[in-house]
């Protein structure tokens, strides 16, 4: 059998969809997840149950910060490709539980990098985030923009992950690609995300907390598009560009990286305001929103807006599912999962 793709965070939203796609393509998958209680673990177990009967799928409950457990799994399965999606998610949760981000996002990333270095993995793909753009004002956000002003601890850990990964790519020749995901949504999504919260409130007749007058905007990206781009990039490990001669470094300029490393935006490049999102969900559900107007929240950014030219150049693909189509799919799934008419 071919070497499996190892996917951390396999019980997560993107992780489950990615595993299902890889398995459908006939690729064996080793999934890892610690099934923590940041949100209801029953949802995570339900996602894993969708994968459990698939040929070529093996699941291990383990924490990516547990070096002994992760090293043992790498030694057992010897993956040639790794997709590291496990992380402590959420912007506001970091205000009260910062140590969870240190353990999962920083220690966990170090453990995965070390395991990939030790086994000379052919390609490590990891989840970064659009949140690394922080307080940037230039739009759309481009991979070449400086990202020096994170406005949340979560964003800071994701930027740290990019820097850590680049150092391993430079020092050890480890091919690494960081994916800056832009607000991924769709069936089997996360309960802490706005689309889930708004849909749940609309269908149950509860108020929706609307921050900053609903003018904040996000570049919502449907999960199938996200997975398609991730799979394409997984099979395109970056190569170190050019020469390592110091004379060439000087000629190329001070910002040139000679490491086999890339960061790539994964967004649809079509930001939508919260007010527009609520209106679309009202139309789909046939319910009127009860709004609870709130101020700007700590750690929030005004907008996200992905440039997609690099993704298109590398893969020939850009996300294409329109928001209305994706929302209809999510609401239909949500009604079925919760048995709501």
Taking the domains of the chain in order of start, what are their residue ranges?
A: 5-182+222-267+306-320
Q: Please give the pLDDT value at position 130.
A: 96
Inter-residue contact 185 to 17 (CB < 8 Å): no
Q: Please give the pLDDT value at position 112.
A: 98
Mean pLDDT by 10 residues, the chain (341 residues): 92 98 97 96 97 94 98 98 96 91 97 98 97 93 94 96 97 97 97 96 95 91 98 94 54 63 96 96 96 82 91 96 98 96 81
Residues identified as active-site: 154
Q: Please give the pLDDT value at position 212.
A: 87
Cis peptide before 4 (omega within 30 of 0): no
Which is the CATH superfamily of the domain at 5-182+222-267+306-320?
NAD(P)-binding Rossmann-like Domain (3.40.50.720)
Q: Please give the pLDDT value at position 294.
A: 87
**Which residues lie closer than 8 Å to 205 by C-beta, 6 or more apart?**
287, 290
Task: Give, rounded to a whole angstrom, the gap between the first and last alpha carbons of the chain.
Answer: 45
How is residue 107 written in tokens? Answer: 């220690």
Q: Please give the pLDDT value at position 251.
A: 46
Ranges of H-type helices in the chain: 13-24, 41-52, 67-77, 98-101, 108-119, 153-172, 194-204, 223-234, 246-252, 274-285, 309-315, 323-338
How many other C-beta atoms can be found within 10 angstroms of the C-beta atom of residue 165? 27
Phi, psi (5° rounding) for residue 121? -60, 145
What is the full DSSP assignment across 162-175? HHHHHHHHHHH---
Q: Please give the pLDDT value at position 69.
A: 98
For the full predicted model, state whether its pTM sits above 0.85: yes
Q: Please give the pLDDT value at position 1.
A: 57
């Amino acid at each position: 059998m071919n070497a499996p793709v190892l996917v951390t965070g396999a019980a997560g939203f993107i992780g489950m969809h990615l595993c299902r796609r890889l398995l459908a393509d006939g690729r064996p998958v080793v999934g890892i997840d610690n099934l923590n209680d940041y949100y209801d673990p029953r949802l995570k177990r339900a996602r894993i149950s969708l994968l459990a009967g698939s040929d070529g799928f093996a699941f291990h409950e383990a924490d990516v910060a547990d070096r002994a457990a992760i090293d043992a799994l790498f030694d057992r399965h010897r993956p040639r490709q790794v997709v590291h999606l496990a992380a402590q998610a959420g912007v506001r949760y970091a205000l009260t539980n910062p140590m969870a981000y240190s353990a999962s996002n920083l220690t966990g990333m170090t453990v995965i990098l070390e395991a990939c270095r030790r086994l000379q993995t052919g390609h490590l793909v990891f989840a970064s985030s659009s949140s690394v753009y922080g307080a940037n004002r230039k739009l759309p956000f481009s991979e070449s923009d400086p990202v020096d002003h994170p406005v949340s601890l979560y964003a800071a850990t994701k930027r740290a992950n990019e820097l850590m990964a680049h150092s391993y790519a430079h020092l050890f020749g480890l091919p690494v690609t960081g994916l800056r995901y832009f607000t991924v949504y769709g069936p089997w999504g996360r309960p802490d995300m706005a689309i889930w919260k708004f849909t749940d409130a609309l269908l149950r007749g509860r108020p929706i907390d609307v921050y900053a007058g609903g003018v904040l905007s996000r570049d919502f990206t449907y999960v199938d598009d996200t997975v398609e781009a991730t799979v394409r990039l997984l099979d395109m490990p970056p190569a170190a560009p050019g020469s390592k001669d110091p004379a060439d470094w000087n000629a190329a300029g001070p910002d040139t990286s000679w490491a086999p490393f890339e960061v790539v935006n994964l967004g649809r490049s079509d930001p939508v305001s919260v007010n527009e999102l609520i209106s679309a969900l009202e139309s789909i559900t046939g319910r009127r929103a009860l709004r609870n107007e709130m101020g700007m929240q700590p750690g929030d950014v005004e907008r996200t807006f992905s440039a997609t030219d690099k993704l298109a150049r590398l893969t020939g693909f850009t996300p294409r599912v329109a928001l209305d189509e994706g929302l209809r799919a999510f609401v239909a799934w949500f009604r079925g999962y919760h048995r709501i008419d």
